[in-house]
Amino acid sequence: MDSEFRLAQLLDQAIELDRASKGTIQILDAESESLKIVAHRGFDEKFLRHFETVKRFDSSACGRAFGSETLVMISDILEDKAFQPNREVVQANGVRSVKCVPIINADGRLQGVLSTHSSTVRWNYERDNTRHIAAELAGILSKMRAARRAV
């Protein structure tokens, strides 16, 4: 099965499980030490450009998940002070809350971040319901990174 097709399927599953409306999968680009979007649902070009390169511990939820290598949930982007630099572009895309799950391979190395986004304030994101999706994504992203290095 084509990797990009499987990424899209897994992203759709994560969005459904989280009862969200949008989502992204980002892969770690080892050369730039940043995350790059490889699959997305529901976002405009301005959003995609804004999050084109995400560094560890930046103010976004995915940057925090990348840096800490732990689950990050922002229940309300309007209440999270650190999120302020991203608020306008995210809110313009109809997002009010976000959940980011680090994608870590069997060797314990971060491969990327899976994010789901909701249009409403969400205090009830399930913590572990997308963990199995992140585990499958780890294998796919590892193969994609290896293929990029081979080119």
All structural domains of the chain, each given as residue ranges with its CATH number in brackets, are: 3-150 (3.30.450.40)
Q: Which two tokens mark 108?
A: 């314990």
pTM of the model: 0.93
Average pLDDT over residues 37-42: 96
- Whether residue 104 contacts residue 134, with contact meaning beta carbons closer than 8 Å, is answered with yes
pLDDT tens string 60-115 = 999 999 999 999 999 999 999 999 999 999 999 999 999 999 999 989 999 999 99
